[in-house]
Amino acid sequence: MEKKPTTTPATKPSATETNAQKALPVPRKIRGTLTIKAEDDLEFRATRSTGISSQEEISKTTAGKLYRTVGEKKKSMVAHIVIPENETDPRAFLYETVEKLTRDMQTKAKPRLRGKVLMDEENARVTLSKKENRLEMVLGIDLKATPDYYKALMNLMYRLNQCFAINQSSLVSAR
């Protein structure tokens, strides 16, 4: 007498168990990467076939992309930038590409004013934007190199005053 397996509603196999029990066609090809390590140790990593991406694209340019990793453990924002070999100033290229990739993001830092640079010295920079009718002055004092910061500030103010006198016509026309 042959015993038939009995299934009760409590022990009924789930949908995932029935899918796992289905026989897959043999032979079949699996796409992936096979890595041969020392002592002929083989490591195979199958290519994802679920269609679920591990990256959520934020922005993209011809030189790179900015994406957020998708996962349960640790989510990160990643910038992937490719610098051409013949690039003369790679650092400037990186900054420009990051600026393009993050153009739509909000920042707490105010961007520098764009316009005509009236003065560009080591400790002082003056920029005039006729478009925005604004004048921006950036001053800096190294306290280790200049302990008498008050005197250094007065010297910078004097140089700013000279800059304003030299560029008086540009400043008047910007009003």
Q: What is the pLDDT of residue 15?
A: 56
Q: Does residue 127 sit in the same domain as residue 155?
A: yes
What tens digit of pLDDT does each residue of 11-54 get?
A: 555 555 555 567 778 888 888 888 898 888 888 888 766 666 67
Report helix, strand or coil for 134.
strand
The three-class DSSP label of residue 48 is coil
CB 101 within 8 A of CB 61: yes
* 134 and 167, same domain (yes or no): yes
d(CA 122, CA 113): 18
Backbone angles phi, psi at 13, to 5 degrees: -65, 145
* pLDDT on residue 161: 93
Residue 3 in any domain: the answer is: no
Q: What's the structural domain count of the chain?
A: 2
Which domain does 139 fall in, by range?
A: 116-173
Q: Pull the structure tokens for residue 128.
A: 């005039």
Overall pTM surpassing 0.75 (yes/no): no
pLDDT in tens, 56-79: 888 888 888 988 888 777 888 888
- pLDDT per residue over 87-125, tens digit each? 888 888 888 888 888 888 877 777 777 888 899 988 999
